[in-house]
Structure 1
């Protein structure tokens, strides 16, 4: 199947320039537009007419008032603190730049992801921020009709899509190092899979795998023995994390510190520890990962790997709008957000 990228390659321009020409935008030089149309005819490429009609409607509507672009945000869930905070910050950053945001949750389901990409791309979205699970760069580009796209926290080695990452390995390594530095030696990890001693290649590309990799690096550098029995599985929500404390109570009582792989997991763990009569931090220290705002209001307040979520939102929106504005010479980028250890009462 011929794609916009193929037409762009034939004409010597970017896929976004092809999109602008074939949609009738007047911001492309006439000689360039002529070259694009000739390449499209040669390759028998035809634009998706549903997408074209939607784009025309958005432009004609915007001309009656203040002109806003529209970006789509497809994120894994909205009923947990971290993704909802990120979605809010993306919306704020987009609005500063004259864009409105349409948000959908994928539930980390490939069918949902495919459907959401197609719907967003065939409606009013000029570009897409996408938290992917398994879809390839080629499939994302095809489903989105070659809309500009930025991936969120997808560490596969994509060469033709921009990616913004959380500092999973470095942050997890810093968390274990911090717990060791305050004198804790029986450190457990909650939120990973204990069945594997080595993280598989596939797992190492996703958030959970990258964080467990950071933990293992820290254990090795600190000369600590890696004990899979102290790696406790739980889904990344507070309800299941609280239950995991009860399920793995004997293991947890053998630990003097726990690294929780998200702040939301830490919230449930702290409640679960209260249930079984363990004091935080006297009996067991707790550190989370994310730096979401509500961690400061917990009792005890949560020590955490505080990711700069505003930085993620800002960089993601900036990269996407630069693609929308058609900067063909901008190399595709992989950027990682900054972080620091936010020391509070729990550790």
Structure 2
């Protein structure tokens, strides 16, 4: 049988209001009274009815997380952190996969159709500021690369600086033919453009000339794309001595292709990635990478969303950066 506040109040010998104050963390309850209520809660195994509480507040207690691809490890790991951060607020998370499709992304940004949610954390791939301009309903926090003039809060990392750091690391090891794997020629490739900008700046810092033959565009950022990019370079007779792969999944595919080509990592070709997914800590060799603080990204996003859900709808959009650092491992040392 599910016990009610009234049952706890009777067991503790206090009013229902006092039990409510204790359960909701109010501070103006005497210590001895709080102790009696907490003992009654434990004895009866009382659990608050969160659904009823949220409905009284005009909320559902459910938020959404929309990402392009759930089977990419970065998004899976990020989703785990969002679920943990949301649970601290007694929120549940509805997860949606957009595939980077513009139509699905518009639906996600507008609140995922008829689903009753309090807000959405959204990592867009295809949308721009114009697509988001008419949204004024469901609270929204954007992840990934910043969309200029977007009417929503945003959390990300400084991708240009991060790419510059990892490329500088490769140049600092004496590598002079550093390839960039993962460039994009599509309008949706904002992340690729920023990482390419950091790569180009680091080459200039190191006095290394830009060679367009070493910049390889890929249709996506999966393992197979990284492997195909390496094969394309080698088939064209372009022999890099280092690879900066724009994601770890690209780097893992590149490692396999280099192995099959008989090239040693890092003796012949140093390899670095971006995202610090768990797979890279167990690859052979382990993968040097940019480590974004995914836990902090998730916490900032949930905190921003909570502020909007709690009624802060009029303040200007906020743009927050989470920390990152370079993690050097066996693939470059």
Alpha-carbon distance in structure 1 between the residues aligned to 2:73 and 2:65:
16
Given that 1:68 and 1:100 are in contact with CA atoms closer than 8 Å, whether structure 2 keeps it comes out as no
Structure 1 pair 68/98, CA: closer, same or farther in 2 (3 Å)?
A: farther
**Which has the larger helix fraction?**
1
Alpha-carbon distance in structure 2 between the residues aligned to 1:280 and 1:156:
37
In structure 2, the partner of 1:182 is: 173
The alignment status of 1:98 with 2:82, answered yes or no, reads no
The alignment status of 1:156 with 2:140, answered yes or no, reads no
In structure 2, the partner of 1:322 is: 307
TM-score (norm 1): 0.74
Q: Looking at CA atoms only, which structure, 1 or 2, has the larger radius of gyration?
A: 2
User: What is the 5 A alignment of 1:31-110?
Assistant: 60=52, 69-110=61-102
Of the three residues 207, 215, 227, the one matched with 1:242 is 227
Given that 1:137 and 1:161 are in contact with CA atoms closer than 8 Å, whether structure 2 keeps it comes out as no
The answer for unaligned runs of 5 or more in structure 1 is 1-57
SS in 2 for 1:90: helix
SS in 2 for 1:176: helix
Alpha-carbon distance in structure 1 between the residues aligned to 2:145 and 2:51:
32
The answer for unaligned runs of 5 or more in structure 2 is 1-49
Q: How many residues of Structure 1 are paired with residues of Structure 2 in the alignment? A: 280
The alignment status of 1:309 with 2:300, answered yes or no, reads no
In structure 2, the partner of 1:299 is: 284
How many Å apart are 1:114 and its aligned residue? 2.3
SS in 2 for 1:288: strand
Alpha-carbon distance in structure 2 between the residues aligned to 1:164 and 1:100:
20
Structure 1 pair 141/148, CA: closer, same or farther in 2 (3 Å)?
A: farther
Given that 1:259 and 1:288 are in contact with CA atoms closer than 8 Å, whether structure 2 keeps it comes out as yes
The alignment status of 1:128 with 2:120, answered yes or no, reads yes
Alpha-carbon distance in structure 2 between the residues aligned to 1:261 and 1:337:
18
TM-score (norm 2): 0.77
Given that 2:108 and 2:122 are in contact with CA atoms closer than 8 Å, whether structure 1 keeps it comes out as no
How many Å apart are 1:250 and its aligned residue? 4.2
Given that 1:257 and 1:286 are in contact with CA atoms closer than 8 Å, whether structure 2 keeps it comes out as yes
SS in 2 for 1:157: coil
